Amino acid sequence: MPELPEVEIVRQSLLKNIKGKKINKVLVRNRNLRFKLETSFEKKLKNKLILNIKRFSKYLIIELENKSFCIVHLGMSGTIHIVENKKNNMLTNTSFYNSPNLPKKHNHVEFFFKNIRLIYNDPRRFGYFQFFDDFNSVKKKFKNLGPEPFNKKFNSKYLINHFKKKNKSIKNFLLDQNFVSGIGNIYASEILYLSKINPSLSAKYLKKYQCKNIVINSRKILHNAIRKGGSTIRDFKNTKGDQGNFQKEFKVYGRDKQNCKRFGCSGTINKITQSNRSTFLCEICQKQ
């Protein structure tokens, strides 16, 4: 599933390609996504000018000219493709598939512009689109989500207050979107490694300096991932078809049984399971 950096890369690509363009037509081939698309979806978006492409957490927010909004969530396998109308071939980015050709089977939604088409492809159909008439409705959708790591509200005081008397592990806290929005499994492992914190440690035992390190390193890891174009593990590519490069800088994720990369550490990376998810950590520098 794309995490915050990957969704941000898609946002930046869309901003370059469709901002200021009018949606001439919307074609829905399959309404049965994670949430069924309303029958009026096409009509509500047709002939609307796109003013901006924003993002919150792992959500894309398309701002339309009449101050209405379309929210896009990519789910586990959803990808957005840009295809030039004049080109007969369908050579584009493919994420879930190991082919340079865009498959037609899972192209569920298409947006038609003057010279290009935006195609939403999703084999598992866990992604979705939602239309909102105003920004207050958008805010209500996100009201129960925690702040992003980049938000000033995400600070050591915020962490300390949430961690009091909580037995929940720090790794599971970082994955809890009601606590902090946008961090997924990959980046949680990298953040805790950089912070020298055992992912299984109960949050209530974290010290103030450790909370501060989590805040600092969350921003550091995510900023670096965005600069590197996100992480390509299996199926992420941006709307230009370019793979991310941050996976080349992983210190722990996917490095089971390999040597720790921290200078002076002789430890080995171990893989454990937490809440049915893989977690990677160094047996020495993340011992406590």
**Predicted confidence (pLDDT) at residue 97 exceeds the cutoff of 80:** no
Of the two residues 162 and 236, the one the predictor is more confident about is 162
- Whether 2 is catalytic is yes
Task: Give the pLDDT mean for 187-213.
Answer: 96
pLDDT of the residue at 247: 53
Structure-token pair, residue 123 = 């084999």
Q: Is the pLDDT of residue 234 over 50?
A: no
The three-state DSSP-derived secondary structure of the chain is CCCHHHHHHHHHHHHHHHCCCECCEEEECCCCCCCCCCCCHHHHHCCCEEEEEEEECCEEEEEECCCCEEEEECCCCCEEEEEECCCCCCECCCCCCCCCECCCCCEEEEEECCCEEEEEECCCCCCEEEEECCHHHHHHHHCCCCCCCCCCCCCHHHHHHHHCCCCCEHHHHHHCCCCCCCCCHHHHHHHHHHCCCCCCCEHHHCCHHHHHHHHHHHHHHHHHHHHCCCCCCCCCCCCCCCCCCHHHHCCCCCCCCCECCCCCCCCEEEEEEECCEEEEEECCCCCC
Exactly one of 55, 58, 171, 255 is catalytic; which is it? Answer: 58
φ, ψ (nearest 5 deg) of residue 188: -60, -45
Of 48-57, 92-101, 248-257, least confident by mean pLDDT is 92-101
* 58 labelled catalytic: yes
The mean per-residue pLDDT over the stretch 191-200 comes to: 96
**Per-residue pLDDT for 229 more than 70?**
no
What's the average model confidence in pLDDT over 51-64? Answer: 96
Say yes or no to pLDDT of 91 above 60: no
Determine whether 11 is an active site residue.
no
pLDDT surpassing 70 at residue 288:
no
- Is the per-residue pLDDT at 101 higher than 70? no
Across the range 184-192, mean pLDDT stands at 93
Instruction: Return mean pLDDT, the chain.
Output: 87
What domains are defined for the chain?
4-142 (3.20.190.10), 156-282 (1.10.8.50)
- Identify whether 199 is a catalytic site residue: no
| Range with the poorest average pLDDT among 20-34, 109-123, 226-240 | 226-240
Kindly tell me if the per-residue pLDDT of 9 is higher than 50.
yes
Selected catalytic residue, list 3, 8, 63, 148: 3
Output the pLDDT for position 232. Answer: 41
Q: How confident is the model at residue 80 (pLDDT cuts 50, 70, 90)?
A: confident
Q: Considering 168, 240, 277, 283, which one is annotated as catalytic?
A: 277
